[in-house]
Amino acid sequence: MAIRQHSIDQYGFDPGTDGVFNASSGSRKFFNRIDWNINANNQLVLRNNTILSDAEHMDRDQLSFRFGSIAYKQTNNQSSTVAELKTRFSNRFSNSLLLGYTSIHDYRSPQTDPAFPQVQIVGRTPGSTIFFGTDREASVFNLRQRTFEFTDNITLSTGKHTLTIGTHNEFYGIGYGFVNGWNGRVTYQSIEDYLANKPQRVQGNFHYYNNDRSYLLANPSAKFNISFLSLYIQDEIRISDRFRVTPGLRADYTILPGKQTLSDRTKTAIADPGFREYLYLYAACKDQERTISKNRCISPRLGFRASWGDVP
């Protein structure tokens, strides 16, 4: 094919196969659990769920033809560990404490030179496009997320009432390293334009201070912590053997400990004079506050449970 041969001769780059492409995917799953009856009043459960998976991505359809070089492998590794301690202080008073930790690593690995741009050529069939090179969304993509969970529920039973007071809290540490088009994107309006080296458009994104790929993967541009805190109380009221009412109240609060920094270039970026006249109302880059609402969210609730037929 002329496109492949021209790429090899002109750029020393093989776009890959234009025939059958064999994509693979696989995963390994591990589930481990330990139950320990410490004594008559305390039970401890330790469990871990780990998934190691990867899959090759290379999609073709009637209007989008992709050479084999644009394929990439996506790897997703997740591991979640939970420790739960259940304690019974008396027949009416008990407690459930849960501690959890989850780690996620999601990244993409191009199957060819990560620095080679994504090439797009308008095909001869109206509406069709030919792609090869490195996928612009795979050249730099590295996500790491760590989550710590703390949950504690106290339950008190008094006759017709079962009162639960608890807290559920999640603390996230996120590192999102993604640069769309770090390798660049070159568009040609026809196959003939590509063979004649006449691009219609060249696009790309780059880091102002260090555009080295290994640096970008090791130092994600979006790195932040966020915490979700909650307190709640509910009372299950037994009206009869067939009918129960459960009123409750929950308060949620979100904390963003540190703001994402804005570079000096972002603060002094030239603003589009028509920016605020578009369909949505945007804030210019230099005006972004990078904060979240500090309002507490109060959520009342009311539920009921009714039984029909014979009550055991």
Please give the residue that has the higher pLDDT: either 179 or 290. Answer: 179
Task: Extract the tokens encoding 259.
Answer: 């703001």
pLDDT at 311: 53
To the nearest whole percent, how much of the chain has pLDDT over 70?
Answer: 90
Compute the C-alpha angle 39/163/236, nearest 5°. 120
Domain ranges in the chain?
A: 2-256+292-306
Least confident of 2-6, 136-140, 144-148, 268-272: 268-272
Q: How far apart are CA 58 and CA 69, in angstroms?
A: 9
What does the buried/exposed string (b/e) look like for 16-55 if buried means 16 or more CB atoms within 10 Å of the residue's CB? Answer: beeeebeeeeeeeeeeeeeeeeeeeeebeeeeeeeeeebe
Question: Quick one: how far is CA 9 from the chain centroid?
Answer: 40
**Residue 23: pLDDT over 70:** yes
| pLDDT value of position 266 | 73
User: Which residues are within 8 A (CB) of 270 and not within 5 positions of it... i.e. 6 or more apart?
Assistant: none
- Quick one: pLDDT at residue 157? 92
Higher pLDDT, 143 or 224: 143
pTM of the model: 0.83
The pLDDT of residue 280: 47
> What is the reported pLDDT for 283?
61
